[in-house]
Amino acid sequence: MLGKPTSLVCLFLVGLVAGQTCHELPDTGVEFGTAILVARGTSEPNAAGGKFGIVVGDPVVSNTTAKLPGARGYPVQYPASSSIISGTRQGAADVVARLKAQAAACPNQLFSLVGYSQGASVMHSAASDIPVSLYPAKQVCASGDPTCDNNGDCTYYHLTYIRPEYIDPAVDFIVKGFKG
């Protein structure tokens, strides 16, 4: 299990062998070898044009796929509402189910898990069902964010993760992990 939940968490799951080209489940005919599972923050939209979450998910997926054209994002299916406990459980179950289904269909596929705000809690919860030996983790916390900084006292910092100083290192971490 990871440490204290953070507002932005990037986990990279390392497969047994370098990624191979696989079909997304359900089979859409779109081939890719790397998948970025993203759990958006509370109340972020989950619709076309912003389906991964506007603060962290959309920029991380678009910047990563620009550097790794074979990568694709998957929006974790959960409500991201004020029902945080049940929503986190639902999201974590979707993450684990997605990983199991994809791993069965394509054992060498590589995955990255990204969560922002409530989505970070989803990924922390899902990570408890994934052997720690499978992944290195990068956790990001803005100084002053009361969600993850024990000395934090201003929610403004919780909304700053869209800034390049947070997005760029997360993307670089994912790209480096996928490229080996």
Query: pLDDT band at residue 94, thresholds of 50, 70 and 90?
Result: very high
What is residue 91's DSSP assignment?
H
Residue spans of the domains in the chain: they are: 8-137+162-179
Query: pLDDT band at residue 169, thresholds of 50, 70 and 90?
Result: confident
Classify residue 92 as left (phi > 0), alpha (psi -120 to 50) or beta: alpha
pLDDT score at 91: 94
Residue 80 has pLDDT above 50, yes or no: yes
Per-residue pLDDT of 26-77, as tens digits, reads 544 444 567 888 999 888 877 655 689 888 889 999 999 898 877 888 899 9
pLDDT score at 78: 92
State the helix-helix crossing angle for 164-179 and 57-67, rounded to 10 degrees.
40
pLDDT score at 124: 83
Q: What is the pTM of this model?
A: 0.78
Residue 15 has pLDDT above 50, yes or no: no
pLDDT score at 112: 85
Is 8-137+162-179 a CATH 1.10.357.10 domain?
Answer: no
